[in-house]
Amino acid sequence: MSSESLRRLAWHPVTIAGCLAALSLPSYRTPWLAWVVLGATAGFATSGSV
């Protein structure tokens, strides 16, 4: 896989959304992370169409 393809994969919106969702998994043991994920998922959700 070329570096160009890797870069596009890394910044793909599904990848970003998936990473945010995955970050919520360990948040039950780290409350501050839960608050960050709460804000980040809400912030990223505003990228959608209007």
- Closest CB 6 distance from another protein, rounded Å: 11
Of 2 and 28, the one with the shorter C-beta distance to another protein is: 28
Can you tell me the distance from the alpha carbon of 20 to that of 37, in angstroms, rounded to the nearest whole number?
A: 7
Site for another protein, rule CB under 8 A? 7-8, 10-14, 16-18, 20-25, 27-28, 31-32, 34-50
- DSSP alpha helix (H) spans, 1-50: 3-10, 13-23, 31-45
- Can you tell me the distance from the alpha carbon of 15 to that of 37, in angstroms, rounded to the nearest whole number? 15
